[in-house]
Structure 1
Amino acid sequence: MKSLIKIVTIAIVLVTVSCKKDTAPNYQFMPNMYESVGYETYSESSAFKNGIEAQLPAEGSVARGHMPFDIENSTEGYMLAKETLKSPLDSAQVNLEKGKVLFDIYCAICHGAKGDGQGNLVKREKILGIPSYDDAGRAINEGSIYHTIYYGKNAMGSYANQLKEEERWQVVNYVLQLKSELEGKQTVKDSI
């Protein structure tokens, strides 16, 4: 009986060892998970009814967390924003420290930390002609500032992709504070 157990054990070991090939990969239980088929984006496919693999979003849908801005990027849109657009933040939601941090990151390089138009790029003469927030010809308000942040203006590009809506309004409130400080008026902090 012992010899029969030895023979069966040796046979099992030999069968197990003989199945292993170093030149070929081992058996894969689910080969599709290891060697998946590479599909080209927007390529033809029978998986969906319209034949396109990557599906386009439904018409009129809005990405999660995104609020569309209905005012157009034009001079008329700028004037409309200047006349009608108001901040949705109430005084409890205004965070000037957060607005300052965002302003320092995105705006101060050109506009200067005080909003006087003397940022590092202006001082190094990389760009010219950034007006101060208190210039007599610049009657800016929260609507015009928001529109400019969203679309950009003249040489300034858009920051709509870098700043969320709430962050844009924080920057708007901070710019208004800088404007009032440059004009020597009461600051936004004092009025809150």
Structure 2
Amino acid sequence: MNKMRFLGAVGAAVAIAAVVTACGDKTTRSTGWEFSRNMYDPIGYNPDQPNANFKDGKTAQVPPPGTVPVGFERFEYAGTNEDYERAGAEVVNPLARTEANLAQGKALYLVYCAVCHGPEGAGDGPITKDRRLESKTESRALENYPPPPSYRRSDGANSSRGGLMADLTDGKIYHTITYGLNMMGSHASQLSPEERWKVVMYVRELQQK
């Protein structure tokens, strides 16, 4: 019993000492000793930090000419009408027409394209129709966007760059998705090259309607 009492007294004394020494005296902002600081201090440089390892003293460096980032696929056509026509004549969809690719193309189209082009490609997406904002504090009409021309052959709509929308080739559709046209912005940041080709595949299906 004496030994147990002694150990208990020692434990209590250690606990009291730890509490007392942990209390600050309100004169210092020191956090005390730090354990294994090298485990949470970053070894690498942040992009905006000075870096003496480079001649210009910057961490963020411009990639060497001709290099391609991992996962990036270069599209060797500029965002011009001339290259739009050239892409239309030279570029074809590299993906096989499968049910899986079509299904994924449809899903991507409904997420990124149908809001303007409509679920069936008729140019009747919800953003082109009358809409209202209703809340507790206000009720007002939202701006309508002009409907894009229909992809469907039965509608016989013309492209703003000439020819029927139903006759647009793989390359022309892919070029437009990549660079945008008129009020449609580029979707290159939203869709990877493979995803763009799947959307192209689904749009080609809509052209047959």
Q: TM-score, normalised by structure 1?
A: 0.75
Unaligned ranges ≥5, structure 2? 1-5, 25-29, 131-142, 159-163
Structure 1 residues 71 and 35: alpha-carbon distance in aligned structure 2, compared to 1, 3 A threshold: closer
For 1:168, the equivalent position in structure 2 comes to 196
Letter in 1 for 2:168: I
Q: Deviations over 1:114-162 (max 9, x none)?
A: 1111111112261114111133532311111000001001110011111
How far apart, in 1, do the equivalents of 2:184 and 2:61 lie? 35
Is structure 2 residue 65 aligned with structure 1 residue 59?
yes
For 2:206, the equivalent position in structure 1 comes to 178
Aligned residues, how many?
Answer: 170
Is structure 2 residue 114 aligned with structure 1 residue 113?
no
Is structure 2 residue 127 aligned with structure 1 residue 126?
no
Letter in 2 for 1:167: E
> Tell me, what secondary structure is at the counterpart of 1:20?
helix
Structure 1 residues 67 and 35: alpha-carbon distance in aligned structure 2, compared to 1, 3 A threshold: closer
Letter in 1 for 2:191: L
Structure 1 residues 75 and 35: alpha-carbon distance in aligned structure 2, compared to 1, 3 A threshold: closer
Letter in 2 for 1:164: S
For 2:54, the equivalent position in structure 1 comes to 49
Alignment of 1:2-17 (within 5 A): 17=17
Q: Which of 121-130 and 59-68 deviates more?
A: 121-130
Q: How far is 1:25 from its partner?
A: 2.9
Q: How far is 1:54 from its partner?
A: 3.2
Letter in 2 for 1:52: K
Unaligned ranges ≥5, structure 1? 1-5, 182-192
For 1:76, the equivalent position in structure 2 comes to 82
How far apart, in 2, do the equivalents of 1:109 and 1:31 lie? 51
Is the contact made by 1:110 and 1:119 (CA closer than 8 Å) also made in structure 2? yes
Identity %: 37
For 2:23, the equivalent position in structure 1 comes to 22
Is the contact made by 2:117 and 2:147 (CA closer than 8 Å) also made in structure 1? no
